[in-house]
Amino acid sequence: MAVEHEIEGAVARAPGVGEAGTSARAPSGARAVNSLSMDKEVRIDEDVFNMKVRKFLKKVGVTSQREIEGVVRDALAAGRLKGDASVEARMTLSIEAVGLDQVIEGKIALR
Q: Which domain holds residue 101?
A: 3-109
Q: Give Cα 82 to chain centroid, integer Å.
A: 29
pTM of the predicted model as reported, rounded to 2 decimal places: 0.61
Length of the chain: 111
Beta carbons within 8 Å of 89's beta carbon, 6+ residues apart? 7, 68, 105, 106, 107, 108
- Per-residue pLDDT tens over the stretch 29-82: 555 554 455 567 788 999 999 999 999 999 999 999 999 999 999 999 999 999
Query: Per the structure, how many domains does the chain have?
Result: 1
- Give the chain's end-to-end CA distance (angstroms, integer): 35
Sign of the CA dihedral with 65 first, then 69, 70, and 75 last: positive
Beta carbons within 8 Å of 101's beta carbon, 6+ residues apart? 92, 93, 94
**Confidence at residue 80, expressed as pLDDT on a 0 to 100 scale:** 96
**Mean pLDDT in residue range 20-31:** 44
**Mean pLDDT in residue range 2-13:** 41
**Confidence at residue 25, expressed as pLDDT on a 0 to 100 scale:** 42
Q: Give Cα 20 to chain centroid, integer Å.
A: 18
